[in-house]
A and B are shown apart, each in its own frame.
Chain A
Amino acid sequence: MPTILITGASRGIGLESARQYAADGWTVLACCRTPDTASELKAIGGVSVHALDVTDIGAVDRLARSIDQPVDVLMNNAGQNMRPPRGLGDMNYAAWSNLFAVNTLAPFKMIEAFQDHLRRSDRKIVLNVSSVMGSITDTSGGHVAYRSTKAALNMVTKVLAGDLAGDGIIVFSIHPGWVRTDMGGPSAAISPEQSAAGMKKVVESAGAGSNGRFFDWKGDTIAW
């Protein structure tokens, strides 16, 4: 069976994705910062749980060295928002730097560290969980820090798609929808189940034409 590695798998979309891939018989490598408190994740049968802070470069390298098997799908799902959102007049620059580290640099590092695992696999798919809020075309005011980190992540997706195309690796950004998670809040439009199921379909139908693109959870293209 194929293998998926998911970051930020202890809750929300990551947790639900772990559930759905495990239910389909995939090997699931689930990463989260504190496995000790990830009781819902550990309750899923057949999932191997790994402690990982994605901003800890050394820890990412150590995890990659410790996993000796192909990774068919790398789901860069771990991400953060700035709470409260700040903008012109009250920006917190240290928090913004931290947001770049989590949302932009960490997915890049994960791909560097797991590139050989991907090459050895059959599917060779990377999905960077981005957000429609990273669409420069559609942006309105507010949430400048979060938006900028996701726009930068989309650029990472685009450049990686060119760099790795020769290896047959497919990289795309995906907007999970506005989901009822800790980040999305209780009044969001869709459930984690709907979002994860939608993204799973997009992964199943991914091909060379998906490389370097930006989709939503239904598979529709989002403008940069």
Chain B
Amino acid sequence: MKTLLITGANRGLGFDFTRRMAETGWHIHACCRAPVQADGLQALAVKHDVTIHALDVADFSQIDALKTKLGDEPIDVLFNNAGIMETNQRTLSLDHTNQMFDSLDEDEWMAVMRVNTMAPLRMCEVFVDNVVASDRKQILMMSSIVGSIGSNQTPRWYHYGTSKTALNMVMRNLAADLKDRGISVVSLHPGWTQTDMGGPTAALSIDESVGGLFKVVETLTPNDSGRFIAWNGDDVPW
């Protein structure tokens, strides 16, 4: 039996990834902020080996509490999927005017950094021994091409973009630091997808994006550690 621990599992890409893994027989610890409202996840847990946990990754004491619940259970894949564009998703438009030039909102920027950059490191700190104790020993970071400095398609969202750039740096550090313990760490770019974050006009369906990511993850080897991989298997520039 293989075990997945995933954050932000109640909707969008996280939910669909969880569903696919559950349907292939994985044992899953699925985390989200409000399990009571996670209807899809609740339905999935009825049919499959899915345990739902309440977890707001910005509250590190909740991460510690989850560790107490899971103990030393091996975790084959730790998927740091939870991420935010802004603290209150105010609109489905892609303007995000609160993070454009000339509108610095320090508290908002730091809140995005905490969820998108710092919480994934905290999750790794807390669960690294569980991953080491597993067969697969994989850590996945849900990044984005919006965090790619070298890509020239970058939308001008300072908070979200810098948080994903910094996450990629965290990933590279972990890949180097954890190599000797046999752990592979990668960043993933899901494509611009029709989720609550991506909006209805996005290029990819959730099915296309997660189908691609699922294949990427299935075929990951230790040689891939430190890579930034798109949903279609391509490398994304730093």
Contact = CB atoms under 8 A, between A and B. Distances in A.
Interface in A97-136: 97, 100-101, 104-105, 108-109, 112, 115, 134, 136
A57 B161 contact: no
A142 B177 CA distance: 7
Nearest to B228: A136
B199 interface: no
A156 interface: yes
A76 interface: no
A156 B237 CA distance: 16
Contacts of A91: 121-122, 125
Interface string A27-64: 00000000000000000000000000000010000000
Interface stretch (A13-21, A159-167, A195-203): A159-167
Nearest to A104: B162
B117 interface: yes
A137 B158 CA distance: 21
A134 B158 CA distance: 17
Nearest to A223: B238
Contacts of A88: 121, 124-125, 128, 174, 177-178
Contact of B172 (A96, A139, A152, A156): A139
Interface in B141-179: 147, 149-150, 154, 156, 158, 161-163, 165-170, 172-174, 176-178
Interface residues of B, number: 40
B27 interface: no
Given A105-B104, A142-B173, A163-B156, A154 B165 contact: yes
Contacts of A223: 238
A112 B101 contact: yes
Chain B interface helix/strand/loop/mixed: helix
B213 interface: no
Interface stretch (A2-10, A65-73, A143-151, A182-190): A143-151
B60 interface: yes
- Most-contacted residue by chain B among A137, A141, A159 (CB, 10 A): A159
Interface residues of A, number: 41
Contacts of A160: 101
B34 interface: no
B116 to A, nearest CB: 11
A84 interface: no
Contacts of A149: 166
Contacts of B166: 100, 148-149, 151-152
Contact of B173 (A87, A108, A109): A87
A156 B162 contact: yes
A93 B237 CA distance: 28
Contacts of A143: 173
B102 interface: yes
Contacts of A101: 106, 110
In the A-B complex, list the 7 residue pairs whose CB atoms are closest, starting with the nearest: A141-B176, A152-B162, A148-B166, A155-B165, A141-B177, A136-B238, A151-B169
10 contacts: A88-B128, A93-B118, A108-B104, A112-B104, A115-B102, A136-B238, A139-B173, A143-B173, A159-B154, A224-B150
Interface of A: 57, 87-89, 91, 93, 96-97, 100-101, 104-105, 108-109, 112, 115, 134, 136-137, 139-144, 147-149, 151-152, 154-156, 158-160, 162-164, 223-224
